[in-house]
Amino acid sequence: MKEFAGKVAVVTGAGSGFGREFARIGASLGMKLVLADIQADALAATASELQARGVALVAEQVDVSQAEDVERLARRTKEAFGKVHLLFNNAGVAAGGLVWEHSTRDWEWVLGVNLWGVIHGVRCFVPMMLEQGDECHVVNTASVAGLLSTQLMGVYNVSKHGVVTLTETLYNDLRLKGANVGVTLLCPAYVPTGINQSERNRPPEAQPEGEETESMKAARAAMDKAVTSGRISAEDVARMTFDAIRENRFYVVTHPKILSSVELRLQDIVAQRNPSDPFTFKKDVAVKKL
């Protein structure tokens, strides 16, 4: 997709981070926008900013983990603009700690947003794209956590590995159909997006059970440090993503230095040897000891 003016973009997680920057760039390119977020005040702030620039948009408070919310978003998109050309399945949350210490609430919340949110987006919007027959594009936000299995991030890793294989399969399925729909898999590392504060949007029924464990505290501290010290901005990542859309490029790994760790993991698999330490090349950022 090289032309954006007048086309319709749907963005989940539009209230902050990558989603807000996707919306800003889409607006600057003359797109019509459908913005979704679970956090009402953040969503309203993004919508107000762009409406002040004369952008045609609708904003819907949506919990992407809920099928009926995403189905409602798809209906609202069709009612408002008739079509969808660009879909950003972007909403995400994070939780960390030793993998066996997480409650079912932790698993259901993270998988619900990070994986089921993308599943619902694909299920609700890709059929619309195919029916239109127009040139369209889907961007699914995964993470380098979908390419590596770092310690203390098991729940998050599982959710993002799911997004990676879902997106790769989507690409192959669309190719099988000969569809005019491009696909991009976004795999950022740590970027100052506010994901380390995603507990702020955790629903009451998904609140943690029991006290925070030492491993959860260590994971949270490591994530806070990594996210807040990120040198690449959300705007930088959004621009990289739009470049990939223009080029019809599938993989976007925002921090190329991490590819050596990905390659090491693949070598482990091919050699059928035990997994290497994911922080082999980045020991300075690893949690030292629990």
- Of 208, 201, 250, 248, nearest to 19 by C-alpha is 201
Does 92 reside within a domain?
yes
Q: Which residues contact 95 (CB under 8 A, 6 or more apart)?
A: 102, 106, 109, 110, 155, 156, 199, 216, 219
pLDDT tens string 104-114: 999 999 999 99
Domain range for 271 = 8-285
> pTM of the entire structure?
0.95
For residue 25, the domain's CATH number is: 3.40.50.720
Reported as a single tens digit per residue, the pLDDT across 54-80 is: 999 999 999 999 999 999 999 999 999
pLDDT tens by residue, 217-259: 999 898 888 888 778 999 999 999 999 999 999 999 999 999 9
Domain tally, the chain: 1
Residue 233 lies in a domain: yes
Is residue 1 in a domain? no
In a domain, 2, yes or no: no
- Residue of 156, 171, 190, 251 with catalytic role: 156
Asked whether the predicted pLDDT for residue 82 surpasses 90, the reply is: yes
In a domain, 185, yes or no: yes
The candidate with the shortest Cα–Cα distance to 94, out of 152, 140, 39, is 152
The reply to whether 251 belongs to the active site is: no
Please check whether residue 290 lies inside any domain of the structure.
no
Q: Is residue 200 part of a domain?
A: yes
260 domain-assigned: yes
pLDDT, tens digit, 9 for 90 and up, residues 145-181: 999 999 999 999 999 999 999 999 999 999 999 999 9
Average pLDDT for 260-288: 90
Sheet holding 86-89, edge to edge: 57-61, 32-37, 8-12, 86-89, 136-141, 181-187, 251-253
